[in-house]
Structure 1
Amino acid sequence: MKLEHVDGQNKGKVVLFALSTCGWCKKTRMLLEELEVEYDYVYVDLTEGEERDEVISELQKWNEDLSFPTMVINDDKVIIGFKEDEIKAEFA
């Protein structure tokens, strides 16, 4: 699974599963950048073939509904959807 990396302050391992066309996903990315959080992301809709299968399989471990955005923090905590207050509290 190929992840895109965004530099910032290391506040743990942050992986964002998103769609390139999703407004809430864009708002989540903008918030992470505003908070200067280092993170990796993948636009699930831009993956194909075996890579897509791998991404979907990984996402299903955290969010069976496959809804977006899904943020996984330190392979432990999950924030599903654009929850501004929860995201800010996590990285404050």
Structure 2
Amino acid sequence: MPMQHVEGNNKGDVVLYALSTCGWCKKTRMLLEEMEVEYDYIYVDLLEGDERQEIIEQVKEWNPKLSFPTLIIKNEECIVGFNEDKVRENLE
């Protein structure tokens, strides 16, 4: 399952690493959609094998604790957990 793309206003690369069962991940997606931000997301828990391992390594580069949601903005900023203020600050 590759990245899923959500259309919106381009604010630079926005990538959300999430779990399909995580309420905070869902809140983060809803916030991005409310802000009409274009972004890509992937549900790490739905991956298997090498693909899963590869994505986990990508997340660990930004967030060694491997917690979710992990939101990467413009390959510069990493927001771990649901943090509406920080998301708005970086994307408005």
Interval containing the TM-score (normalised by the shorter chain): over 0.9
Match of 2:19 in 1: 19
Per-residue CA distance 1:27-79 (angstroms, 9 max, x = gap): 00000000000000000000000110110010010000000000011111100
Aligned positions, number: 92
TM-score, normalised to structure 2, is 0.97
- Counterpart CA distance in 1 for 2:65 and 2:58 is 12
- Counterpart CA distance in 2 for 1:76 and 1:84 is 18
RMSD: 1.0
Structure 1: segments with no counterpart, 5+ residues: none
Letter in 2 for 1:61: E
Letter in 1 for 2:47: T
Identity fraction in percent: 61
Runs of 4+ aligned residues of structure 1 deviating over 6 Å after TM superposition are none
TM-score, normalised to structure 1, is 0.97
Structure 2: segments with no counterpart, 5+ residues: none
